[in-house]
Amino acid sequence: MHIADGILNLPVVAGGFVGAGAVAWYSLDRIKRRGDPREKIPRAALLTAAFFAASLIHLPLPPAGVHLVLNGLLGIMLGWFAFPAILIGLFLQAVMFGHGGLTTLGVNGLILGLPALMAWRLFHWQRDPDASPWRTGVRGMLAGSGAMVAALMLFLAALLLGLPAEYGGQASMTALMVIIGAHIPLIILEGVITTFLVVFLQRVQPRLLEGI
Amino acid sequence: MNPPAAGQALLQRWDPRFKLLGLAILVLAFAMVNDPAVLPLLLATPLVLAWFSGLAPGFILSRLRYPSLLVVLLLLWLPLAVGQTPWAALGPLTVYREGLAAALLIGGRFLGIVLSALIILHSSPLTTNIKAMRALGLPWIMVDMALLTLRYLQVLGHDLRQMRLAMRSRGWTGNRLGLRNLRIIAWLTGSLLLRSHERADGIYRAMRLRGYGQPGSQHHDFRAGGLDYLLLVITLAVALVIILLSLELFPV
């Protein structure tokens, strides 16, 4: 769910950088307000690297297979660190593998980062840490699938805003419907995997679900 | 005439801070291009950069292995679906002039930006580029996170490969998408997250012992000279020409 370089017009590219800069600044401000962040930085960085590595796992979904995004789980585990972590992950993906884009770093950061923060709030809203694995799993499903639905909506909004108006019309709407349809299996997969993951972490190391 | 050798190349000697500034200006100018007539100049820029980068052409092309799926879909879809003026007929399909121009623009901008970024960013080590971003004002939390993420990406990638190898040696194939396989993939991911979390505390203690967080540990040693300023001015001039042509102040 990356928008590559060259697709979006300049106002949307610039708006993406302004928006992502503002959210990153606010996230860093919240991190600093919770005391010296130095001890938390290695934890956030290593989890970012682990998410990056996990996103390379290939799932055999016909016709071509998919890679996990896991931005919902990243939000649950990293909290305010999630947005900077996603920007860093996207930058490294663009530089090391040519995935995504540099001019679209801000837009892509918002597409994946805002749903991660939303998933964090959704998962922890009135949560009882001693709740049964079943209840934790339901929260994981909502956070994982919800983050993907929100990311898909932001992705479509960026395309609608960023592509010239003359590309519009019935053919464009059909193309957008195809994009939505193609992402439905991924939304379900992200929800299922996040469910299994939060249940696993609650059993093995519940502290990881409390954030860093 | 051969391209300059690695290490001696002009782009490799350019101050990374100025290089990143130049890249930012250049790719934003490329993103403004809305006239297919400007594309030859846009695509000539990465060729010039490649010449002065000291990077092997094979290395640059190998990095283009993963073009965005969205770009490929747009390049195929736009000429067939957008526009009113027929340009060519391919059996039952009609290629429209306006859609073809739009596809050329997207493809040209994509190639220009991706190639320029690849060449400029790979003419210095990634760690140097991140330190240069720090010198340009990127918040230190993001710089430290980026450097540590980069450092441990290979370690965790290696861990993941070993864990998958161990799973395969026990008979797991993972080529079917059932609930059981999804649970195993989730446990694999969870184990990787646990390992990285446990490793992080030891890393933090080791970093503190080496002076992490002490005054002076964030200083950089970049020094700019006349050549660095000159190269930035040339880059600015190229970007300005592209912007002026894109704004159709000087029709081509």
Q: How far apart are CA A96 and CA A94, in angstroms?
A: 6
> Nearest CA to A144 among A122, A125, A126, A128?
A122
For residues B43 and B104, state if they share a domain.
yes
Contact list in B for residue A88 (CB cut-off 8 A) is 142, 145-146, 149
Partner residues linked to A67 by β-bridges:
A58
* Element holding A183 (H helix, E strand): helix A170-204
Nearest C-alpha in A relative to B206: A42
State which residue of chain B sits closest to A91, comparing Cα positions: B146
CATH of A10-210, one of 1.10.1760.20, 3.40.30.10, 1.10.10.10, 3.40.309.10: 1.10.1760.20
CA distance B58 to A195: 43
Q: Which segments of chain B does DSSP mark as H helices, in order?
A: 10-13, 16-31, 39-51, 57-62, 69-81, 97-122, 126-135, 140-169, 179-209, 226-246
Residues of chain B found within 8 Å of residue A192, distances taken between Cβ atoms: 179, 182
- What are the structure tokens assigned to B186, written together? 């989730």
Q: What is the DSSP letter of A59?
A: E
Tell me which DSSP letter residue B125 carries: -
Confirm whether B2 is domain-assigned.
no
Whether residue B35 is found in the same domain as residue B150: no
As a whole number of angstroms, the distance between CA A111 and CA A113 comes to: 6
Return the pLDDT at A20: 97
Residue A30 tokens read as 């919240």
Would you state the pLDDT for residue B59? 83
Q: What is the pLDDT of residues A41-71, one digit of tens each?
A: 988 998 899 888 888 887 877 766 778 889 9
Nearest CA in chain A to B113: A5
Residue A66 pairs with which residues in a beta bridge? A59
One domain, residues B163 and B73: no
> How does residue A178 score in pLDDT terms, banded at 50, 70 and 90?
confident
Q: Which of A100-109, A170-179, B49-58, B162-171 has the lowest mean pLDDT?
A: A170-179
> Residue A119 has what pLDDT?
96
Query: What is the nearest CA distance from B49 to chain A, expressed in angstroms?
Result: 17
Residues B120 and B165 in one domain: no
Total domains in chain B come to 2
Report chain B residues whose CB lies below 8 A from the CB of A52: 149, 153, 156
| Structure tokens belonging to residue A80 | 């305010």
Pairing of strands B86-90, A66-67: unpaired
Domain that holds residue B188: 139-209
Looking at the structure, tell me whether residues B74 and B144 fall in a common domain: no
Kindly state the greatest CA–CA separation across chain B.
Answer: 71
Instruction: Tell me, yes or no, whether B49 and B25 share the same domain.
Output: yes
Q: Are residues B106 and B204 in the same domain?
A: no
User: How confident is the model over A33-39, as a mean pLDDT?
Assistant: 87
Side-chain half-sphere exposure of A108, counting CA atoms within 13 A: 25
Q: Can you give the pTM of this predicted structure?
A: 0.89
| Contact criterion met (CB < 8 Å) for B183 and A196 | yes
The three state secondary structure string of A88-153 is: HHHHHHHHHHCCCCCCCHHHHHHHHHHHHHHHHHHHHCCCCCCCCHHHHHHHHHHHHHHHHHHHHH
Mean pLDDT in order along chain B per 10 residues (252 residues) = 64 94 93 90 94 87 71 85 84 87 90 91 91 92 92 87 88 79 90 88 83 69 89 95 81 52
Instruction: Give the pLDDT confidence score for residue B1 in this predicted structure.
Output: 46
Higher pLDDT, A127 or B235: B235
Does residue B231 share a domain with residue B127? yes
Whole-number Å distance between alpha carbons of B58 and B61: 5
CB pairs under 8 A between A and B: 230
Judged by average pLDDT, the poorest of A9-18, A82-91, B193-202 is B193-202
* Domain extents in chain A: 10-210
Q: Is residue B218 part of a domain?
A: no
- Residue-wise DSSP of B212-245: TTSTTTT-------HHHHHHHHHHHHHHHHHHHH
Integer Cα distance of A153 and A190 in angstroms:
16
Pairing outcome for strands B93-96 and B86-90:
antiparallel
What are the tokens at A18? 């302004």
CA distance B246 to A68: 39
Would you tell me how many other CB atoms lie within 10 Å of the CB of residue B173?
9
Q: How far apart are CA B167 and CA B188, in angstroms?
A: 9
Q: How far apart are the first and last CA of chain B?
A: 31
Residues in B closer than 8 angstroms to A193, CB to CB, are 182, 185-186, 189
- Domain-located, residue B214: no
Q: Side chain identity at B114, as an amino acid letter?
A: V
Secondary structure element (H or E) that encloses residue A58, with its range = strand A58-59
SS3 for B95? strand
Nearest chain A residue to B71 by CA: give it: A4
**Which residues 190-249 on chain B approach chain A with CB closer than 8 angstroms?**
190, 192-197, 199-201, 203-204, 207, 212-213
Residue with tokens 């805002």: A114
Does residue B217 sit within a domain? Answer: no
Per the document, the length of chain B is 252
pLDDT of residue B221: 79
Pair B205, B232 in one domain: no
Q: Are residues B159 and B229 in the same domain?
A: no
| Judgement on whether residues B48 and B105 belong to the same structural domain of the protein | yes
Per the DSSP assignment, residues forming a β-bridge with B95 are B88
Query: What is the separation of C-alpha B175 from the centre of its chain, rounded to a whole number of angstroms?
Result: 31
Residue B1 lies in a domain: no
Torsion of CA A73, A78, A79, A84, to 10 degrees: -110
* B81 close to A (CB below 8 A): yes
Listed in sequence order, the residues at least 6 apart from B106 whose beta carbon sits closer than 8 Å to its beta carbon are A6, A7, B71, B74, B75, B78
Residues B119, B239, single domain; the answer is: yes
- Of A91, A96, A97, A85, which is closest to residue A50 (Cα–Cα)? A85
